[in-house]
Structure formats: C-alpha cells, structure tokens
Amino acid sequence: MNKAKTITDHWLDDARRVPSPNYNQRPEGEISLLVIHNISLPPAQFGTPNVEQFFQNILDANEHPYFEEIADLQVSSHLFIRRTGEVVQFVPFNERAWHAGLSSYGHRDNCNDYSIGIELEGTDDIPYEDIQYQVLAEVSQALMTEYPEIAPSRISGHEFIAPRRKTDPGRAFSWQRLFHDLTRNEDLT
C-alpha cells in the first residue's frame, strides 16, 4: 500500500516543483472542481522536457514545427503526471492556473477561477499507463481531503467543460477506472 499523498501550503509534498509564471490570483479563493487534461510535446512524444518548458514560457519554437503554433501561448496547469508516475507541480493550488480557457461547468463560466488542472502525459488515443491512474487517484484523494468542495462528482475532463473546443483527456482515458481507483483509495483510508 502506498503512503497517502499530502499537501502543505497548497503544494503537493512529493511533487517536483517547476514554477510557472502563467497564473494569477483566484477571484474568490474557491477551489471546487478538478479538471483532467492531456498533453505531450511534440504530440504523441513522451518523456521530453518540452511540457515543462512550455508552461515556463521557454519552449524553443524552432525545435519542432508544432512549437511554432503554440510558442506565444501562456498556459499552465497545477500538476503534470508523467507516464512514469512522476508528478510535477507548476502552480500552488490556491492560485489560478491558466489551463481551462473558455469553459463552463454546471452553467458556471471561467473554470480556471475555481478549478485545479491536472495534465496527464498522453494523447486522446494512446492508453494511459497504470501508474498514471494510480497516481491520479492518489492525488485526487489528497485534493478532495484538502479542499472538501471537490468531490468525485466534481471531477471533469477538459472535453466536458470546453465541448467542441477540446477533446482531452480523450477516448483513451477510462473514467470508470479512475472512479474505481478513487473508491478503492477511500476504502484504504
């Protein structure tokens, strides 16, 4: 059994910190939604330093043709879960990371204002790793403990809060597995 993940001062204790400049203050301080995304840079290439560089605004646009398209974007998420299970944190949870863009959840706009964004290293079509599901469930459980307004019913995908604009985490992501793992983690606590 893995040790439960913990949060101190809005940082996940065992995450590697790579601060991003792409955040600002939450307008009301509320944290009540968890949004799951996917990202890989270049698309479908894993294990590169490019996601971290992208969220830090230091991605070399000349390194890959796709990077030219995204070079001027200023985005971030709170967490990035690599295919190895390593967790990288870019923004403290009490701040507003710029991950959701134009979005709505439950007839409420601007999800960045009240959500935590978690990026999984992956694509819509390539199955995620077992360790990513395990770590995502552990992290989600820690977030629900620390921020009680987040409940399993308030975990969503980018594709659901920005329909017709976003497709992640995609058809390769198993929501059933995530919720099964969350239930199992609750039983162990």
DSSP string covering 13-38, please? Answer: TTSEE---S-EEE-SS----EEEEEE
C-alpha–C-alpha distance, residues 152 and 64, integer Å: 38
Catalytic residue among 28, 30, 68, 119: 119
- Please check whether residue 116 lies inside any domain of the structure: yes
Identify whether 65 is part of a domain: yes
Q: Would residue 77 count as lying in a domain?
A: yes
Indicate whether 137 belongs to any domain.
Answer: yes
> What value does the mean pLDDT of the chain take?
95
pLDDT digits (tens, 9 = 90+) for 4-27: 999 999 999 999 999 999 999 999
Tens of pLDDT, residue by residue over 31-80, are 999 999 999 999 999 999 999 999 999 999 999 999 999 999 999 999 99
Q: Do residues 6 and 143 make contact, with C-beta atoms less than 8 angstroms apart?
A: no
Looking at residue 184, what is its pLDDT?
Answer: 79
63 labelled catalytic:
no
CATH number, domain at 52?
A: 3.40.80.10
Position with higher pLDDT, 189 vs 134: 134
Token representation of residue 52: 């971290």
173: left (phi over 0), alpha (psi -120 to 50) or beta: beta
Q: Which domain holds residue 112?
A: 7-188
Whether the CB-CB separation of 87 and 103 falls below 8 Å is answered with: no
The secondary structure of residue 125, as a DSSP letter, is S
Q: According to the model, what pLDDT value does residue 185 have?
A: 67
Q: What pLDDT sits at residue 27?
A: 94
- Considering the domain boundaries, does residue 125 fall inside one? yes
Kindly state whether residue 1 falls inside one of the protein's structural domains. Answer: no
CB 113 within 8 A of CB 27: yes
Residue 55 CA from chain centroid, whole number: 12
Taken in order 23, 109, 157, 151, is the CA torsion positive or negative?
A: positive
pLDDT confidence band for 3 (50 / 70 / 90): confident
Structural domain total, the chain: 1
Banded model confidence at residue 174, pLDDT cuts 50, 70, 90: very high
pLDDT at position 81: 98
Whether 2 maps to a domain, the answer reads no
Look at residue 145 and tell me if it is in a domain.
yes
Does the structure show a pLDDT above 70 at 188?
Answer: no
